[in-house]
Amino acid sequence: MSFEELGLSENLLKAIKDCGYETPTPIQAGAIPHVLMARDVVGLAQTGTGKTASFTLPMIEILDGGRAKARMPRSLILSPTRELAAQIAENFEMYGKYTNLSMALLVGGVSMDEQIKKLDRGVDVLIATPGRLLDLFERGRILLTDIKILVIDEADRMLDMGFIPDIEKIVSKLSPMRQTLLFSATMPAAIKKLTEKFLSNPREVSVSAPASTAKNVEQFMIWTHKRAKDDELFALIEQENPGTAFIFCNRKRDIDGLCKALRARGYDAKALHGDMDQKSRTSTLEELRDGNVRFLVCSDVAGRGIDVDHITHVFNYDVPMNADDYVHRIGRTGRAGRKGRAFMLADKKYDEKFVAAIEEIIKKPVPVQEPLVQKNAKKTAAPEKSAKPANKNKKPRGKDRVQDEEIVGFGDDIPSFMK
């Protein structure tokens, strides 16, 4: 099937051509005709499948030609994270460049004044995270009654992040005559309930299970001890010599600690997590896109949906506690037809059940690789042992001191439910 056959008009076909897309992806071929027929759609697809264009393109087609009134947007795209919202906005700008549609991005962490000014001028497409949208609504800066199309993107992620009550509140302000599109990588019971409540007679379009999208990614797992993870990671980095890599951690303090430790070893590393202000998050992402960051140490929230093609490696410093996150994490590499490698450091004492959950959803075992550090440690065990007593009463200095502090830094910070 071609884009022409999907029923998109010249303005969009030209923009699609500029993007270099030749044929629609399965989610696009499946969803676009339904959206153009004004049907509600449930799209089961994860990032990397082309799902953003599957709702952005027909939305532009439907809205093109009309005009928004002040403070009354004509369509709303809800996204769980600022980064994802920003990426949707970028897509919208690319695909809508031959139209006169206006767009506003409403996310937390940036000044409201600019956003309010834009809303006052009238926007056709509003892309928002739930919190900031409700905030502006409650201040009376925005009216939601004119919204003709609602998109809820990454609904399962919204659920994980506790946004469902916010979504319910937002939807209750919308006209029941709207068209609703909901996208989710998985369909937990709570999301199914939400679709039954918010969508009317939806068409379901589903593309291959998330696990199969990682076919370009070679996966490995290393059983190690949590205290040995730093050394194992550094050894892996040396062995793999990655071009650009994501390093995922489960805890924010580990992100900062690891970033420092990498820099201390001369690596160019940046942190990305939800506690950072929007300005530094955006500039870090830009540096990553431009190829100026080699290691991005990040959390799941920050790492999700980031669409950068040149990531060669993903290192899971921690095993994710949510098996879906594993699929999302390793899906950062092996994109756009390239090969990627993903490594995961796991501790038998804490991680066995999480690894089992991952293997259940990817429907295969993650191949185990011998730890590099233990192998090397065996060779050097004797001199290290004999060196210790001599240093017993000395305060560690310089490099040794840094290493000592790192071990303390990655100490027993294990959530109680994992113990």
The residues that touch ligand AMP, with contacts defined as CB under 6 A, are 21, 24-25, 28, 47-53, 307
Cβ 307 to ligand AMP shortest distance, Å = 5
Nearest residue (CB) to ligand AMP, 154 versus 347: 154
Q: What angle do CA 132, 137, 143 make, to 5 degrees?
A: 130
Please answer whether residues 206 and 174 qualify as being in contact, where contact means their C-beta atoms are separated by less than 8 angstroms.
no
Nearest residue (CB) to ligand AMP, 153 versus 406: 153
Query: Quick one: which of 109, 414, 403, 407 has its CA closest to 251?
Result: 414
Query: Quick one: which of 239, 238, 257, 258 has its CA closest to 247?
Result: 258
Query: Quick one: which of 143, 96, 47, 107 has its CA closest to 335?
Result: 47
Nearest residue (CB) to ligand AMP, 28 versus 250: 28
Cβ 303 to ligand AMP shortest distance, Å = 13
Cβ 92 to ligand AMP shortest distance, Å = 11
Phi, psi of 106 (to 5 degrees): -110, 95
**DSSP secondary structure of 356-408:** HHHHHHHTSPPPB---HHHHHHHHHHHHHHHHHHHHTTSPP-HHHHHHHHHHH
Which residue of this chain has its Cβ atom nearest to ligand AMP in the complex? 52
Nearest residue (CB) to ligand AMP, 46 versus 224: 46
Nearest residue (CB) to ligand AMP, 47 versus 284: 47
Contacts of 263 (CB under 8 A, 6+ apart): 269
Between strands 313-316 and 245-248, the pairing is parallel
Nearest residue (CB) to ligand AMP, 71 versus 335: 335
Nearest residue (CB) to ligand AMP, 20 versus 398: 20
Q: With residue 300 as reference, give the H or E element that holds it.
A: helix 300-303
Please answer whether residues 144 and 66 qualify as being in contact, where contact means their C-beta atoms are separated by less than 8 angstroms.
no
Query: Quick one: which of 68, 43, 67 has its CA closest to 55?
Result: 43
Nearest residue (CB) to ligand AMP, 55 versus 410: 55
Cβ 28 to ligand AMP shortest distance, Å = 6
Cβ 76 to ligand AMP shortest distance, Å = 18
Cβ 88 to ligand AMP shortest distance, Å = 8
Cα(307)–Cα(322) distance, rounded to whole angstroms?
21
CA distances from 186 to 142, 153, 213, 271 (A): 32, 12, 14, 28
Cβ 402 to ligand AMP shortest distance, Å = 39
Nearest residue (CB) to ligand AMP, 21 versus 234: 21
Supply the DSSP symbol for 317. S
Cβ 349 to ligand AMP shortest distance, Å = 36
Instruction: Return the structure tokens found at 101.
Output: 């549609």
Nearest residue (CB) to ligand AMP, 28 versus 180: 28
Cβ 3 to ligand AMP shortest distance, Å = 8
CA distances from 215 to 181, 236, 336, 379 (A): 28, 22, 12, 36
Cβ 77 to ligand AMP shortest distance, Å = 12
Phi, psi of 199 (to 5 degrees): -110, 145
Query: Quick one: which of 354, 359, 361, 362 has its CA closest to 417?
Result: 354
